[in-house]
Amino acid sequence: MRAAFMRQAGLVEVGDFPEPVAAPGEVLVRMHHASICGSDTHVVLDGFHRPERFGEPGYPGHEGVGVVEASHSDRFAVGDRVLTVPPGWLGACFAELQVVPEGYLVPVPDDVSLQRGLMAQQLGTTVFAMKKFGRPDGDVAVVIGAGSAGLYFVQHLRKLGYPEVVVSEPDPTRRALARRLGSTRVVDPTTESLVDVVAHLSDGTGAALVIEAAGYDALRAEAIEIVRHSGTVGFFGYPEVPGDAPYPSFLAFRRNLSIEWVNGAQLEPGLASFREAMDLIAAGDIQVDHNLERFLDLEDVHEAVVLAKRAGGGAAKVNLTLPAGR
């Protein structure tokens, strides 16, 4: 089979590998599509890799969708269409065939295309995040970063009834998507102060909830600066560096903030948030088609990772098509 692999830090290539074999409790999935997660860019390009996985097929991909080819599980049969959601350290989605433990699979309904079903992986992580963030009292919520996750958060916040949902995003194409998906105020941080905008909209009190969805330390600090006293800050973006990072701890202390990091959706019992995400897509309650505009071939995986690192060239999401998905 053809599969991507990390030869070394900073480089992902594609080569030929033996086909894997499923063991009891596992399922062999022929992958049709995969997505580049922000964490994948950090693993490949920013030093977050696991050296012991150098050379292993499919790593670090963990957002994938395909069809069961062989099953040693009572839960899934040959021909079932499935979303594969292994934790990042177990990911092997960037391969024609992937062995997945049965506990990391979600059925894709017959009336949902595989491409749209693929979007339930990241959408599921935002559903999981919103359970942690809750619905803090107030009229103003902010999303920093309008990539695929940030745009899902915009839709969640509007459904929660926030009259003001502010989005900060430097890319003009993504800002336009944020407007279309429900943001009431879009800020270009290269020309406008998010601090001033939030102060104006909140009469100087700050936002009730701020979600940082871009993955930069300076933006996490900005999130703490613009949230109100006793408000909630949600850190969804991946850490910027593997070690320690700057942190405005005194300001967070003075404001008595609730700060929630998001990790471990794959460990939630029954993969509940991913299943909820699939239901939201099937019902049309969350829009995902804007994330389906950029697909590259598996053979171009390194280009896809670099493109995702560069904000997708304006695309909300960068995806891969494998041979079975052509």
DSSP structure class, residue 300? G
pLDDT at 14 over 90: yes
Residue 64 confidence (pLDDT): 98
Residues of the chain with CATH 3.90.180.10: 2-119+288-325
Residue 313 contacts residue 304 (beta carbons within 8 Å):
no
Q: Which CATH number fits domain 123-261: 3.50.50.60, 1.20.1260.10, 1.20.1250.20, 3.40.50.720?
A: 3.40.50.720
**Average pLDDT of span 278-295:** 97
Instruction: Mark out the alpha helices in 181-323 (DSSP H runs).
Output: 194-201, 217-226, 249-254, 272-283, 301-309
pLDDT in tens, 137-173: 999 999 999 999 999 999 999 999 999 999 999 999 9
Q: Give the residue-averaged pLDDT of 56-81.
A: 97
Q: How far is residue 255's CA from residue 287's CA, in Å, rounded to a whole number?
A: 35
pLDDT tens digits along 207-220:
999 999 999 999 99
Residues 6+ away with beta carbon under 8 Å from 162: 138, 139, 140, 141, 208, 209
**292-to-156, 209, 239 alpha-carbon distances in Å:** 19, 28, 26
Band (pLDDT 50/70/90 cuts) for residue 247 is confident
Residue 314 has pLDDT above 90, yes or no: no
Quote the CA–CA distance of 307 and 183 in Å, as a whole number. Answer: 25
Share of the chain above pLDDT 90, in %: 95
pLDDT band at 252 (very low <50, low <70, confident <90, very high): very high
Q: How far is CA 227 from CA 123, 138, 253, 307, in A?
A: 24, 11, 12, 32
User: What's the CATH number of domain 2-119+288-325, 3.10.620.30, 3.30.70.1380, 3.40.50.720, 3.90.180.10?
Assistant: 3.90.180.10
230: left (phi over 0), alpha (psi -120 to 50) or beta: left
Res 88 pLDDT > 90:
no
What pLDDT is stored for residue 313 in this prediction?
86
